[in-house]
Chain A
């Protein structure tokens, strides 16, 4: 676990990649209670103008957040997490799915022992989350 003292503004978190498949979305439907049909039915997704089935924004947010909680060690140390959903994550019906890449950089150190981490989350080099920030307390 990184300590507050050794982290500096500009410290980069380990870059992560997360494959997102159709099976992941079905599991997330069940766990979250969000069964919106555009997350599992290609026919309907296309009928409402989407290129294909898309991931739940909240699923993308949850997965991207692991970049910070895995780094910090204690997920209970996360105090704030904010994102803007800038474009949908399209999930093709194949074995590889979409691949979410997430980079994190410490943008601020607060006097209360927390740090602000800015996240950049992309799929195929397109940003899927913008203004993504996590406030996490370090020891």
Chain B
């Protein structure tokens, strides 16, 4: 069954801020096998001009899972069958690096829902902002709902 297109344009502000800690950055960097000292050693990060350790570029994916249950994908009214879903595309636009001590707010928006052959694409844009209002990052993710596009007569 097709995904509910009335969701296009809906916004989902996260219900809480997300505090970025040094130890979570360390654990994430270890998990991706990345030993760059900018993630774990404050002195090394400062030598590169950062005020504290920074997070790997894809770190903000953690926001999607921290707030997954309150986002559009979890809303039954969207009509998405999660077993048919695969991740199609992802982009991170980092206005500045994420760093330890950040207290981040985020708003997810359903940017588009459209057909791609027999599949449907659901595009979500998440804006991430620091406590002082500085824009930190824009995440754009596309998930693919396999085989759910409305059938058309030939």
Contact = CB atoms under 8 A, between A and B. Distances in A.
Most buried by A among B27, B31, B49, B93: B31
A33 B62 contact: yes
Given A76-B48, A82-B91, A85-B88, A59 B34 contact: no
Q: Contact size class for A? A: 20 to 34
Contacts of A85: 86-90
B89 A69 contact: no
Interface stretch (B5-13, B50-58, B72-80, B105-113): B50-58
Interface in A36-92: 48, 57-59, 61-63, 65-66, 69-70, 73-76, 78-85, 88
A2 interface: no
B36 interface: yes
Nearest to A131: B89
Given A75-B38, A75-B39, A76-B54, A66 B90 contact: no
Q: Say which size band chain B's interface belongs to.
A: 35 or more
A3 interface: no
Interface-central residue, B32, B50, B94, by most chain A CB under 10 Å: B32
A57 B57 contact: no
B30 A74 contact: no
A80 B31 contact: no
Given A31-B28, A81-B91, A83-B89, A66 B58 contact: no
A24 interface: yes
A81 B57 contact: yes
Given A33-B62, A70-B36, A65 B57 contact: yes
B31 A79 contact: no
Given A32-B65, A62-B56, A76-B38, A27 B30 contact: yes
Nearest to B50: A76
A69 B39 CA distance: 12
Contacts of A70: 36
Contacts of A83: 89-91
B50 A31 contact: no
A133 B33 CA distance: 21
Interface of A: 18, 24, 27-28, 30-34, 48, 57-59, 61-63, 65-66, 69-70, 73-76, 78-85, 88, 131
